[in-house]
Chain A
Amino acid sequence: MRKLIIKKEILTALRDVRLQVSGGILIVLMLTAVFVGWQGQKQIQEQRAKAQSAMYDTWLNQGNKHPHSAAHYGQFAFKPKPVLSFLDVGLDNYTGISVFLEAHKQNEVLFSAAQDSNGMTRFGEMTAALILQVLLPLLIIFLTFNIFSKEREEGTLKLIHAQGLSMRQLFMGKVWGAYLMVLLIFLPIILLAYLQLDQQSASLDSAVTTKFLLLTFGYAIYFLAFVLLCVLISAFAKNSGLSLLTLLGLWIVSCIILPKAATNLADKVYPTPSQFEFKKTIEDKVKNGIDGHNPSDVRLASLRQEVLDEYGVETIEELPVNWSGIAMQAGEEYTDQVYDAEFTKVENIFNRQNRLSEWAGFINPYLAVRNLSMALAGTDFHHHVAFARAAENYRRAFVKKMNKDMEVNHKPGIAYGDYSVGEEMWSSIKPFQYNLPDAATLLYNQWRSIVALAFWLVLLFSISMTYAPKIPKL
């Protein structure tokens, strides 16, 4: 009997011109988004990989020079385009893509795509995520708004009930019917998207299949929750018109208005410091000490005494090692320490701001799926920070190596210009390599969104089960 209802729902849907048109548009959009998006992403990834290797070549071929000059000459880190970002571009247009790595200072990850574009960017990119999160729910609304109310208006509901079918069975039959229709559109296209992935994608992100499956699963849950919600409203609405208006109103509030309001509110609750304050704090703390009572010249003097004592000599000139190298590395490490503390502070502020919209997933399932999808596609804030950290660690490692070489090999008494190293040293620094965080880390970061999605599913199921028998038949 249930099979019969599912079959009936699918047949009605397939015969409905409105659904044929809107479903058709959706499929065309989705195919465009997936294929064109993939082309664009491939092109961007190639460009960045090329830039990364070209810049590494300049490092290798910088010629013979003092290691500290090389540290100033510096290196670049380019953010690899996450493999699944063609499905959900997330924050990618708003975060920097490359960073210059040099001695003594932490540079910002710069040059976001949005800065180079006009106002149109702010309207978002047509990606699978936009279609699945915003447009497909609308199709679900069109599919289900009169799924009960129409039968009631035409008087068939009572007839079906008289056949001995419980309202619960009927309700679930309609839910599965509508849900199957949704999966019929969703699954083949998402499968096509998966087939786009090639050898190169796997080498960029070894966990790409896992992430892809989780992404698919996340969306499948989101759709099921949405179908349940729509069928519920259709079942209890006075008439089809009211059901449609309620659903459209809910859609506008949760997909268009709430996300913006939530993020705007977050910035008010947890204010963002300015770049000026951020840099000034670091500068002050490096100069005057983290506690404010340990100025840099005092730190340097005490370090000098320590080194002199260690080697049992009286003056710098008598040291068997290069004092400048030691002093510079100590300076680097102190700055690193200050920078890490301040950077983490800002990161925490942003995380707190974002957490507000993660919690809001319990009010609005759209937010939950949006955050989860961005994380799995590798385009959320955590990914940006992971890249910035990886680049910074790479900087620290190669600057430290340059300082160490200076300390050990640049003997005292030899002029700066008379000591140099060459390609052997440069090639001992391996090219910058950044691995995307694994699936477990992502899931842990987004546990609120996952729980929120599960919460919605359980909540809607229990409401449906409890109230289905009470659906008015007339």
Chain B
Amino acid sequence: MKMLFHILSFEWKTLWRSNTLKVLLLVVFGAGIYGIYFGKFEIDKQQKRIAKVQQYERQQFDSLMLWVELDTTITSNKEKYQQAVSPTGVGWNKHFTYYLTNNAPPAAGLCLGQRDLYPVYYGFNVTDLARQVNTGELANPMKLLTGNFDLSYVFVFLFPLLVVALFYNLYAGEKEGGTLSLLQSQSTSLRTILFSKGLLRLTMIWLLAAVLLLLSFALQGISFLENGVLFFQWLAIIYGYCLFWVVLMGAAVALRLSSALSAMLGLGIWLIFALITPALLNLFVLANEPLPNRAEMIHAVRTLNGRNWEHPKSFVWDRFYPENPQYNDGDTTNFSKWYYASFTLLDKEANALKAEFEKQVSKRNALLDQWQWLAPAAMVHEKLSTLSDTDRESHLEFVKEVHAYHDGLKELYYARIFKGEQFSSDDLQTLSDKL
């Protein structure tokens, strides 16, 4: 034990005198700080967009709240008043647009994940959702391709490189420096010495990871109290991942190759696990397993829409009333009722198809998951992104919320439309509280 301590303290002194080490640590530390800054920058940008959308929605709704109080004996007020109280809107496309936003989860800035691929807000009115959610966010595809320089990138890509850089000459450095024979003449076995050297390096890497993670929480304003578990989950994953690389490099060192060869071997292993296996999986699965043609959904909706209009009104009623008996008062002539009932049919058709597509996509992604263990870097990245709620699943959850919100709106609107009533001030207050 004393010997181990002795070796450690000596190794620490030599390491600390080496400029290479300082430069390496500084570069990775700098990259980590940039990653923290960049993650925050991106999330702030998304949050600013969200704030703008919310502010716009609030402003618009506040005018409705004012218009409902207007004196309708004045002619010029009439249209505004109607717009506020009519659940069917006034004229075409005069419906109020509601926005639902996907606020950034606390740790989104640590791992931006797939969040940049999807819109963080959807705008929709009470008509069918199907034709309103086919939208994306403006993004330079080049930026999406090169990906984000966030903290998860530093951990997943650069930390393994740091491991390689610190370990490749663990043995060869002694041999080529001429100190190996000196070491071998000691009473302590060479293995113990190499092990303690490795241990010291691993400790340094772990320490750097912990410092960066702590800093990221502090600099991104993530509350420790509320996200303490998340912090330790991140730490555990990163520690495990670094250890995995240390073990790999340890095995490489055990081959006792020259420093040049072990550097090449280390980099080769890094290439295989961080670049080649994920790229091969993507080639076999993504490029060769066909994706559903989502344009089919738009086609199905437009076709059904055409049929709704071409057929007698009973075409819609026969499909709408059995599933929504609460609205059935026997009226089959009212245009508004028919018009809004038809939107429900469109959504039903679209949702059935979407579920079908999602099944197909899940099957394809499950195939990727099945082989994910071949690509530990991608596996860890996906895990971090799941922890931070920035993966594809999190977006699908948001889409589910959008559907639920839309259904809630419909309930309020349809209750009035099917009774031929207007919104009361209380109704508007209820809607306003939902914003």
Contact = CB atoms under 8 A, between A and B. Distances in A.
A121 B286 contact: yes
Interface string A110-154: 111111111111111111001000110010001001100000000
Contacts of B365: 117-118
B234 to A, nearest CB: 16
Nearest to B283: A126
A296 to B, nearest CB: 13
B104 to A, nearest CB: 15
Given A73-B306, A260-B153, A41 B260 contact: no
* Residue from A18, A146, A264, A272 having most chain B Cβ neighbours under 10 A: A264
Contacts of A260: 146-149, 153
Contacts of B267: 138, 248
Given A117-B365, A119-B114, A124 B282 contact: yes
Given A76-B295, A248-B263, A264-B38, A123 B306 contact: no
B134 interface: yes
Interface in B141-193: 141-149, 153, 157-158, 161, 176
A100 B259 contact: no
Interface stretch (A1-9, A32-40, A397-405, A423-431): A32-40
A354 B295 contact: no
Among B38, B140, B280, B286: residue with most chain A CB under 10 A: B140
Contact of A240 (B34, B260, B275, B368): B260
Contacts of A96: 136
A353 interface: yes
Interface string B262-285: 011001100100111011111110
Given A119-B381, A354-B142, A381-B141, A142 B264 contact: yes
B80 interface: no
Contacts of B286: 93, 113, 117, 120-121, 125
A32 B294 contact: no
B98 to A, nearest CB: 13
B41 interface: yes
What interface size band does chain B fall in?
35 or more
A205 interface: no
Interface stretch (B199-207, B370-378, B400-408): B370-378
Nearest to A354: B142
B361 interface: yes
B230 interface: no
B278 A274 contact: no
B202 to A, nearest CB: 21
Interface of A: 18, 22, 29, 32-33, 36-37, 39-41, 43-44, 47, 51, 55, 58, 62, 69, 72-74, 76, 78, 89-91, 93-96, 98, 100, 107-108, 110-127, 130, 134-135, 138, 142, 145-146, 240-241, 244-245, 248, 252, 256-257, 259-264, 266-268, 271-278, 280, 346, 349-350, 353-354, 357, 381, 384
17 contacts: A94-B144, A110-B294, A117-B361, A117-B365, A119-B392, A123-B282, A127-B283, A252-B161, A260-B146, A260-B147, A263-B142, A268-B41, A272-B139, A275-B137, A350-B142, A353-B143, A381-B142
Closest 7 CB pairs of A and B: A123-B278, A40-B287, A126-B279, A94-B141, A91-B141, A126-B283, A263-B146
Interface of B: 31, 34, 38, 41, 45, 49, 52-53, 56, 113-114, 117-119, 121, 123, 134-149, 153, 157-158, 161, 176, 259-261, 263-264, 267-268, 271, 274-276, 278-284, 286-288, 290-295, 298-299, 302-303, 306, 361, 364-365, 368-369, 372, 375, 377-378, 381-382, 385, 391-392
